[in-house]
Amino acid sequence: MICSYADESGDQKVYSVSALLSKLEDFVDLGRAWRSALKDEGLPEFHSSWLEQRKEPYEHLERFQRDHIQKRFIRLIAERPIWGFHSSVELDAYKRHEAELKAILNGYQDPYLLTFRSTIESMAIEVNDYEVQDEPIAFVFDQQKQYEGRSKDLYERLAQTGNWPLAHRLGSITFESRLTAQELQAADAWAYESRKYVTEHVINKDPERWQWRIFADTGRFNVSGHTKDTIPKTITRAEQEKQDREKASGGRS
């Protein structure tokens, strides 16, 4: 069984959805090791942004202690046969093209759903490229009450009612709490570092973070995004797909 655990992350420049992908048995092993590490470190959970910003329950930790915790938990992910996927959107570019996106994406144009779809599609393509025999992906997303309804609707359109050729790779989708599904805390670690990489290194041209290098050095963690250069191409492609659907249905949208 192939599984994916996913989370979102954002700042003033980018919004992203990131996911981890692996076999169920590897996530079971990760979850076991994660809970053991939490107990060993005396922590109720791992939360990347709270740790970086020294928020409760990390407010008493010095920088070297927080670095130690980050390194330990990121390595738990990197040392296992787990793949990372990330899709982001540059918010300034998104705002410039928001009206066009709204016109062609039928209510699924906001940053969360735009990157949600891109991340799901990239994982389905990856699994298909590896020619895994008829194996769908079971997706688990961090709970986002404001988006869950439309996320499920979009997912069902891709998996059941659309004509997407990789629909057979889309299995179940659930939304769970990071406190009960510790694998979502691992997804949070990847989501935070991949988003920081895009904002700080790709956009701001700052040096890469050492946390990012732990992921990147494995060769299994991928970053892609909707930028000022690619969004117009996305719009053109979506317009063509819409025209093709209308033509196939005899002019009905």
- pLDDT confidence of residue 249: 67
Please state, in angstroms and as integers, the Cα–Cα distance from residue 141 to each residue in 91, 148, 234, following that order.
22, 9, 25
Q: Does domain 2-248 have CATH number 3.30.420.10?
A: yes
Question: Among 78, 75, 57, which residue's Cα sits nearest to residue 67?
Answer: 75
Which DSSP string do the residues of 84-141 spell out, in sequence order?
A: EEEEEEEHHHHHHTHHHHHHHTTT--SHHHHHHHHHHHHHHHHHHHTT-TT--EEEEE
**77 CB neighbour count, 10 Å cutoff:** 25
Structure tokens at 45: 């959970």
Q: Where exactly are the structural domains of the chain? A: 2-248
- pLDDT confidence of residue 246: 73
Q: pLDDT: is 104 or 48 the higher one?
A: 48
Task: List beta partners, residue 90.
Answer: 14
Is the CB of residue 91 less than 8 Å from the CB of residue 12? yes
For 139, phi and psi rounded to 5 degrees? -95, 135
Give the separation between CA 100 and CA 128, rounded to whole angstroms: 31
Least confident of 25-29, 128-132, 169-173: 128-132
**3-class SS at 21?**
strand
pLDDT tens for residues 189-237? 999 999 999 999 999 999 999 999 999 999 999 999 999 888 888 888 8
The model's pTM is 0.90
Banded pLDDT at 29 (limits 50, 70, 90):
very high
**Over 60: is that where the pLDDT of 252 sits?**
no
Give the separation between CA 113 and CA 12, rounded to whole angstroms: 17
- pLDDT confidence of residue 251: 57
Q: pLDDT: is 228 or 250 the higher one?
A: 228
pLDDT tens for residues 144-195? 777 788 888 888 888 886 677 888 889 999 999 988 899 999 999 999 999 9
C-alpha dihedral (17, 75, 38, 24), degrees to nearest 10: 60
Q: What angle do CA 74, 18, 16 make, to 5 degrees?
A: 120
